[in-house]
Structure 1
Amino acid sequence: MNEFVTRSLDEVRFWSRIMKEHSLFLKLGFRCEDTQLIQEANGFYSIFEQIEAKSHQYNVNTDPQKIREFNVEVYNAAVHIWVFKRKVLGLIINCKLPGGNNFPLLVDHTSREANYFRNRLTELNNGQLEPLHDAIIDENVFFLKIMADHAKFIGHLLDPSERKLVDQAREFSNDFDNLLWQAQDLSSMRPQSQSQPLLSQFLDQNRVSVVSLRDFKKTARDLIEACRIKSIIHPLLADHVYREAERFLEIIDMFENHLKGKRPSDFDYNSLH
């Protein structure tokens, strides 16, 4: 039960902050006349700010039933922000928000993360996380797409005159597109592809690219915060995408430890089965 509480609080603390920041980024991308959408985004910002604060009131010794109830509360908020994001995506794609600054891919990206969050909360409450070998492939497919999207956003939000950085972002986009396609191929070959040597090589290869992208994001974040490059990237967005790369590396580490038979100190993946 301590494992369940620890994992639940970790997921909620990380993803509630992400959802809160999504609300801000979407708001900043709306036109000034989109007052209703801005108001809704502000409402979601407040909801997830409160959830994030509440999550820090609990600890590993909190009654698991209280955490289950909290997870349901957070799940409902995640569902509602997912619906909001899909509504916004529909408006943009149908040209009902001309002149706004939210890319359709960015809105879709944020909705995929909300869907991931709500699904994880359901899995935790039901004690039914995916079997390890399935999770390795599916988590990598999800996060490789997230990383590829990030590279594309960075490339489009940098000033065109930042040619070297734009080229680097484009190279990362191509790299992660290829890694994603390779992961999808591995997925389609299941279960035959789920041998330990293949999965271990899969994780090793992805780790190398994620570390490089993480370092690139960190450099970009630091340069943006110091006002040393030209872009329209919000400093918080730069930090946001850096933290998600760090999250992906933590997940890769967890999977590698299990493949090697080492139990992570903070969470045993199989403990919820």
Structure 2
Amino acid sequence: MNGDDTSLHADTGVTSGLFVERSLNEIRFWARIMKEHSLFLRLGFRAEDTQLIQEANQFYRLFEQIEQTAHSFNNQTDPEQIRRFNSEVQQAATNIFIFKRKVLGLILTCKLPGANNFPLLVDHVSREANYFRKRLIELNEGKLQALPDAIIKENVFFLRIMADHAKFIGHLLDPSERKLVDVARNFSNDFDQLLFQARDLESMRPQSQTVPLLDQFLDQNRVSVASLRDFKKTARDLIEQCKIKSIIHPLLADHVFREADRFLEIIDMFDAHLTGGSSQPG
């Protein structure tokens, strides 16, 4: 996907009120995600990686400030002010994307031996930064994908995110948590298959973009995402209660739960549009 607005009714742009609402919704959600990425990356650096730690801390403070500013605005804020804010946030998202790719390069060239950030995790968080960056660009330009394109592209993006989450959970649980590791592995396999199906549907466009096919596509994905979301919630609660053994930070457990919950909201909103409803994600 990477950047197709999920609030569109059609391919005709947005009203100023919807523009403000969607911009604030995206920034409030993703600025918090970017802030938390900064923390997770910092926790994975070695003590001697002082420059990287300092950069991560700077990004944490930046996105914390962005998040606070976004909450100071409301749906009646002047659209031009929001447009300028979107541009500022888009630049911040671009900068953290560059930082994350730099970290990935250092890991893959073995320049951070002993650090604790998986390469796939760093790639994962950089994909989310790129998604956020492109979303803001498209909102400011008023360029929205047609609904069938947006449905497929958004699901391709988020299904891969969910597959990654399952893999991370499986690797960060203690190996002695054998049953939970198996559950995470099964979710990983399930979402890999859903992702392959989504990419097949994508490659068959535009012929594949019929209402029955897209409706079934959303329904099938919803079942698996809801199941994964519930598993993440259970894991989060168990981690917070110190009932399972892992090296998963409690905030990371909540972080991946929130992303699954957002994907479910997006699926439901798409389904409402597809079947003639008018639901908007909150």
Answer yes or no: is 1:189 the counterpart of 2:204.
Answer: yes
So what's the TM-score if we normalise by structure 2? Answer: 0.94
Aligned residue type for 2:126? S
**Whole-angstrom CA distance in 2 between matches of 1:82 and 1:131:** 27
For residue 169 of structure 2, the aligned residue among 136, 149, 154 is 154
Offset, 1:266: 5.8
3-state DSSP of counterpart to 1:261: coil
Q: CA deviation at 1:265?
A: 5.0
* 2:224 aligned partner: 209
Aligned residue in 2 for 1:228? 243
Aligned pairs for 1:114-263 (under 5 A) are 114-263=129-278
- Give the Cα separation in 2 of the matches to 1:110 and 1:155: 18
Describe the SS at the equivalent of 2:72: coil
Q: Highest relative contact order (Cα 8 Å, sep 6+), 1 or 2?
A: 2
Q: Determine the structure 1 residue equivalent to 2:4.
A: none
Aligned to 2:114: 99
* Alpha-carbon distance in 2 for matches of 1:52, 1:63: 18
Output the CA distance in 2 between the equivalents of 1:79 and 1:3: 24
**Distance across 1 between alignment mates of 2:28 and 2:138:** 17
Q: Which amino acid aligns with 2:180?
A: L
Aligned partners of 1:250, 1:49: CA distance in 2, in Å?
24
- Measure, in 1, the Cα distance between the counterparts of 2:38 and 2:271: 33
- SS of residue paired to 1:101: coil
Offset of residue 252 of structure 1: 0.2
Runs of 4+ in 1 over 4 A off after TM superposition: none
Q: Distance in 1 between matches of 2:176 and 2:39?
A: 27
Determine the C-alpha separation between the residues in 1 that align with 2:20 and 2:71. 12
Q: CA deviation at 1:197?
A: 0.2
Query: For residues 48 and 112 of structure 1, what CA distance do their matches in structure 2 show?
Result: 17
Are 1:82 and 2:97 counterparts? Answer: yes
Q: How far apart are residue 234 of structure 1 and its match?
A: 0.0
Structure 1 residue 124: Cα displacement:
0.4
Deviation at 1:130, TM superposition (A): 1.1
What is the Cα-based RMSD across aligned positions, in Å?
Answer: 0.7
Q: CA deviation at 1:87?
A: 0.1
Q: Does 1:23 align with 2:21?
A: no
Give distance in 1, aligned partners of 2:278 and 2:181.
Answer: 40
Task: Give TM-score, length-normalised by structure 1.
Answer: 0.97
Identity of aligned residues (%): 76
Tell me by how many angstroms 1:147 deviates.
0.1
The residue type equivalent to 1:155 in the other structure is: G
Distance 1:168 1:30, change over 3 A: same
Note closer, same or farther for the CA distance 1:88–1:11 as it changes in structure 2 (3 Å cut): same
Letter of the structure 1 residue corresponding to residue 202 of structure 2: S
CA-CA distance at 1:264 after TM superposition = 1.4
> In the alignment, which residue of structure 2 is the partner of 1:37?
52
Residue 271 of structure 1 corresponds to which residue in structure 2?
none
- Runs of 5+ consecutive residues of structure 1 not aligned to the other structure: 268-273
Task: Give the Å deviation of 1:129.
Answer: 1.6
The separation in 1 between residues aligned to 2:255 and 2:280, in whole angstroms, is 26
